[in-house]
Structure 1
Amino acid sequence: MSQFELRMQIADNAHLQPQRDPVFNADAARQARRFHRTLNGYQPTPLHSLDNFARALGVDKVLVKDESQRFNLNAFKMLGGTWAVAQLLCKIWQLDIATFSFAAFRQQQRPPLTLATTTDGNHGRGVAWAAKALGQHAVIYMPKGSSAARVKHITDLGAECIVTDMNYDDTVRLTLRHARQKGWHMVQDTAWEGYEEIPTWIMQGYATLADEAVEQLDELGAAPPTHVLLQAGVGAMAAGVLGYLVDHYGPGSLRAVLVEPERADCLYRSGVQGEIVNVGGELNTIMAGLACGEPNPLGWPLLRNNVHHFISCEDRVAALGMRVLGNPLKGDRAIVSGESGAPGMGVLAAIVHHPQRHQLMQRLRLTSDSRVLIISTEGDTDPQHYREVVWEGKDGISHH
């Protein structure tokens, strides 16, 4: 096995106080999942056990939840967008969420509303999908540098897509201004003062995937995970999923590790400080879905209380994760994972090859008994970039 060293800064959380969360928990997840089951084509995404990679790393299990199989949208994000849109329509039209379904709503033929959001790609695709399924309008804004493929995914669903000349966080502010002027309904997956209800629903919707994973582990007869690696942009998925796991398995019972790109590591910096730190500027990382500089304030308290380690890593870590998942050891399942789906696996693969492997394993408390859960949150949502990394060696490892 060759050795090489990729940049990963690890910060232990000095503010750790494991505890359940009143908002992001198993009850909220089960309510969302009941609704998701009513959607046409719903089924749990696969959970794969990569036993040969686990052996190479020196742990008991490495389990990967493959969200590229989520409907035909290639990413987990629509779980949040659809649940929030369902809740929003129930609020506007005074319907009962416990019996709400998209199919029944369409038959009522109410006047359409316009849903607006900012996205790096996957969330906007989910909102556009929901709008189309419901006969509503959608206007989706994207930050500067968004790929043509990601734009096309959204316009193919009948939504209007506007690419700005600003970064993600500034684009959110622009979208909000336009929505207020035009009477649109903003369905955004980050929160700010006075805008908390919809992002809360979105985060609760993400927890459907955690509820599925726990059910799948039980079906496998597997012991509970000892570790979970969660990648973060604003931290909405991480908090939604971790809130469920903490509630289900008990506070402090599994070691949570948060992984971010070093060029947009707002949660890593917040973890070091013990309070929210924003990161500005270009946020240039291949992990497009994680290129966010301002933590979601709704998820932050839960993450501050329950995350054991914050990791800020270079882009090559995510690229390595994409290659390792797509080209597994013999006997393990191949998984197509995009830039923002693969950083968790990238961290584990980088440890396997690291000259200080032993110290890194100790630092994260990885032992021969560890069972590590990873969420591959997206497939090749930008197919050209996926090929550039996996075929052409973009962000590759150079051996001198």
Structure 2
Amino acid sequence: MGNIKWMINQYAGERPSDLMELFSLEEAKRARAFHEGLPAYAATPLHSLDGLARSLGVGGLYVKDESERFGLNAFKGLGASYALSRLHSGSEETVTFATATDGNHGKGLAWAARELGQRAVVFLPAGSATERVDAIREQGADVRVTELNYDETVRLAEVEAARNGWVLVQDTAWTGYEKVPRLIMQGYLTLIDEAFGQLEEASAPRVTHLFLQAGVGSFAAAMAAYAVARLGMDAPKIIVMEPDKADCFYQSAQTGDGAAAVVGGDLDTMMAGLACGVPSPDAWAILRPLAAHFVSCSDEISAEGMRILAGPAAGDSAVVSGESGAAVAVGLLDELCIRSPECASELGLDENSVVLVINTEGATDPANYRKVTGGEACGGRI
């Protein structure tokens, strides 16, 4: 099986970042109102995997399935469309929006630009799957695959946008570039607002654990901030997960001064959507006091999660998860609860636990999905 490293967050309980106010219930309602006005909008499903929960020995397991969002097979269209709408509000000028991506964000941006009658230029890192490149090109974007890793590709997109007069729409922040990433993060709030509303409608028990994938961390930070804003002292324990080849938040949590750490190299992980070595400063500022644990895991953890979700327990729905989707959390839960019960106990996972995970993508790399699971994926479903 795969390898995992996990640690208790030494910074948990620090004073929350002032950025928290950007991800309030009011901001979530504003983003959701915008998305509900889009022709392609429909709330994505929330699956209750009772059979899998029983086999893991936890009280409940819920999967918010973003593979069906806007027909894009991933959640990223939420952030891109919201940001573009705010950036282009009231303007009749045709604008070119540019970004770097590992796949899903670029496809979301290309789709949003097309929906708004604008242009998009999308840069991808070396080694990007052909299917991901083609999916972005099909949305009408000018796609450029580089010979660089993800973080270097981000810098290239920044330079090219400035040189050509394009508007950079990147989902990670850095000093002097904060407005756009924050708009993108606010756009993500629609999915978590839907999820907690669906849990209430189903009279589900209180969620005790929220497992969140981190690449640059923007998604995880927005979800964590919303959960705390909504539930306060009853907020779930937040577990942040990363691939071991790109575990910049796990490494950041080990520093003694609270500073963010950078992971270099080619970031060679199957979890392409999480292959980021430089954490967003905004995301680290939010997650540093809110996360209970940080976890670094090998690709096999995600692969096992993909297989488990593709071949569901009796009574459960099949869920098609890409490498960076709910598979990461499900593979981790399987490793902890079945093979390392002492670790599960230390994370507070037991028969009273109710776990929420987010399937941020379906089979965005169909060839690898077939290789890992032995099955075919059609859209977001088997």
TM-score (norm 1): 0.90
1:346 aligns with 2:331: yes
Are 1:24 and 1:239, in contact at CA under 8 Å, matched by a contact in 2? no
Q: Which amino acid aligns with 2:35?
A: H
Q: Which residue of 2 aligns with 1:331?
A: 315
In the alignment, structure 1 residue 296 sits paired with structure 2 residue 286: no
CA distance in 2, matches of 1:118, 1:301: 23
Of the three residues 356, 363, 372, the one matched with 1:373 is: 356
**1:174 counterpart = 2:156:** yes
- Which residue of 1 is the match for residue 242 of structure 2? 260
Could you tell me how far apart the structure 1 residues matched to 2:174 and 2:336 are?
A: 37
Q: Which amino acid aligns with 1:288?
A: A
2:13 alignment partner, one of 10, 14, 17: 17
Query: Contact 1:58/1:367 (CA < 8 Å) preserved in 2?
Result: yes
- Map 1:123-142 to 2 at 5 A: 123-142=105-124
Distance 1:251 1:183 in 2: 46
- Mapped to 2, the partners of 1:170 and 1:6 lie a distance apart of 29
Q: How many residues align?
A: 369
CA distance in 2, matches of 1:24, 1:130: 22
SS of structure 1 residue aligned to 2:295: strand
Distance 1:186 1:39 in 2: 23
Tell me, in whole angstroms, the C-alpha distance in 1 between the residues paired with 2:24 and 2:268.
Answer: 33
Residue correspondence of structure 1 range 1-400 to structure 2 within 5 A: 5-17=1-13, 19=16, 21-90=20-89, 93=91, 110-251=92-233, 253-273=235-255, 274-341=258-325, 342-354=327-339, 357-391=340-374
In structure 2, stretches of 5+ residues that fail to align are 376-382
How far 1:26 sits from its partner (Å)? Answer: 1.8
Distance 1:344 1:177 in 2: 35
Cα 1:334–1:157 change in 2 (3 A) is: same
Percent pairwise identity: 48
Once the two structures are TM-superposed, the CA of residue 195 in structure 1 deviates from its matched residue by 0.5
Q: Larger radius of gyration, structure 1 or 2?
A: 1
Residue identity opposite 2:345 in structure 1:
Q
8 Å contact 2:2–2:299 — kept in the other structure? no
Q: Is contact 1:261-1:285 (8 Å) kept? A: yes
**3-state SS of 1:200 partner:** helix
Return the offset for 1:232.
0.6
CA distance in 2: counterparts of 1:28 and 1:275, whole angstroms:
28
Deviation of 1:353 (Å): 3.3
RMSD of equivalent CA atoms: 1.3
Alignment-mate amino acid for residue 283 of structure 2 = G
1:50 counterpart letter in structure 2: L
Q: Secondary structure at 1:11's aligned position in 2?
A: strand
Instruction: Structure 1: state its 5+ residue gaps.
Output: 94-109, 393-400
Distance 1:54 1:33 in 2: 30
Determine the C-alpha separation between the residues in 2 that align with 1:369 and 1:245. Answer: 19
Q: Counterpart of 1:100?
A: none
